[in-house]
Structure 1
């Protein structure tokens, strides 16, 4: 499904790019050149997005024990770099034509092409972002955001061309290019920042909170404590590891069964693959005052206070002993 969507994006981007360059050569408008250059990036980005989604779908191997999903973050970062390069060229080109009075023509055709392409890119971009979020695909989300950026550019192009067409204020043509070059630069930096953060395994606050809420909503009394929670994203897949404290009087078979149930619970977090590594910790005497197991045969202290599991304390590599913490 994801690959078919990217192919659709590529085909439409090629058709739109050809139409935009055609009206640019007819008109000589710097604003239309801005729009056409943005379409080149769409074509290149869609091509690489297709390859990255294909590579991310490959199974794990000895050289890639966590799979190939992180290529999608690289694709997103490359798209950000391409956007920055295009914005730099647009800024340079617009500055050279700011005080010129070129003979512009066929602006009405340029407005029509820009309006139609903006509508197509806006609808397709919105759809790709929604599908990318539902399938947890960074490459699809980046491609969709870029198409939405191109749609915003198309709206700006139509407005700038209309002003130039009706007033003969030729400086508006270059000024609009400056404005959108700045907007493109911000978008490119944002994409690069997100992709670098993901490649460096920076914690995604929204994703970590989603995992935390899921664990809390499915918590069992036998799960005495949870800590050292780590969540890493590999494209659309997740890798989760944590330390789970269980009753120390359980035998190995019971502990194994409980961990298996815990992993099955986390595996239902999302539709894509979730890989889970759980380190089992035995309970300590200090755990008794927040342990909710009613029929514990070795309890040393009565239950006194429930410890809230939240995104702050679950990330710590420490057991939770009410007001004090001890190393696991």
Structure 2
């Protein structure tokens, strides 16, 4: 997440927002199921199906966020932050599953078109419930940037797919009602399924990358590089340099490892003071960052790429 995330209310924590997401999902399930029941639209059925996934996703995300907030222990000395990636991956798989279900229902209706009834009420209920999801998604995106929570971001992205689902459904139903082409309802559902399938695959991919210790985002890396350069410039020319700077992400936490080279005749106190300043500077520039800095004399190189360790 961006280090310049917007401020957030103390109430807007991942747990509170995910509870809210679950409550909104229950409301939207009721509204969209009613919309489908009175209209008979397969598009509105697909919309209602995705709301069930919203509820399941919010509850699983809530469980994973709870695990991720546990403190480090002997078995997990780096914490439990990666638990959030299981949440986003699970949510992505659910989205893919829903898209397959929509394809099946829409394909059946495409072959056997049926008249749509009570179009006005069906569309009104769908639009209202999607408005709730859109507002909640906007709040969750902002909170996800503050808390650097991929679980919260995944749930927000899922809510956005729900909004797009409703947009496609509204277009399809309105088109079918105005033209009499009943197949437009099913065609809109298929287009919606393709859109949310893409979103689900992207979520699964991002989760897999997080579990594989991917590097921090480019803007975060640029902030780290700029901070290190500031410390180089405050020292005598050539006295200090950084190398082997590597980063990784683990849910809300971000890590950076590096070597700090300095003159061999510096006292241990002087070296430790500079290292402490660098650590504080990095953590101030990038909230949630944890830095590990190894001190080395200027004329000593570390051999971390030993051939025997490269498989």
Following superposition of structure 1 onto structure 2, how do residues 25-44 of structure 1 map, counting pairs within 5 Å?
A: 25-44=37-56
Determine whether 1:282 maps to 2:304: no
CA distance in 1, matches of 2:161, 2:224: 31
Of the structure 1 ranges 212-221 and 14-23, higher mean CA displacement relative to structure 2 is found in: 212-221
Runs of 4+ in structure 1 deviating by more than 3 angstroms, as ranges, are 217-220
Work out the CA distance in 1 between the residues paired with 2:132 and 2:80.
Answer: 31
2 CA distance for matches of 1:12 and 1:92? 27
Greater per-residue helix proportion: 2
Is contact 2:85-2:251 (8 Å) kept?
yes
Count of aligned positions: 288
**TM-score by structure 2 length?**
0.87
Answer yes or no: is 1:260 the counterpart of 2:273. Answer: no
Deviation at 1:267, TM superposition (A): 1.6
Q: Which of 77, 99, 106 lines up with 1:87 in the alignment?
A: 99
Residue pairs, 1:105-116, within 5 angstroms: 105-116=117-128
Which residue of structure 2 lines up, in the alignment, with residue 23 of structure 1?
A: 35
Note the 1:34-183 alignment, pairs <5 A: 34-183=46-195
Pick which of 113-122 and 97-106 moved more.
97-106
Q: Is the contact made by 2:279 and 2:291 (CA closer than 8 Å) also made in structure 1?
A: yes
Partner of 1:105, secondary structure, is coil
Greater length-normalized contact order (CA 8 Å, ≥ 6 residues apart): 2
Partner of 1:326: none
In structure 1, the gaps of 5 or more residues are 288-315, 319-328
List gaps (5 residues or longer) in structure 2: 1-12, 306-311
Give the SS at the match of 1:230. Answer: strand
What is the rounded CA distance, in whole Å, between the counterparts of 1:128 and 1:75 in structure 2?
15
Bigger shift: 210-219 or 30-39?
210-219
Q: Which has the larger radius of gyration?
A: 1
Cα deviations by residue, 1:170-228 (Å, 9 ceiling, x for unpaired):
10011001101111111111111111111101223423233223333454326621111
1:216 alignment counterpart: 229
Aligned-partner Cα distance in 1 for 2:225–2:129: 42
* 3-state SS of paired residue (1:271): coil
- Provide the TM-score with structure 1 as the length reference: 0.83
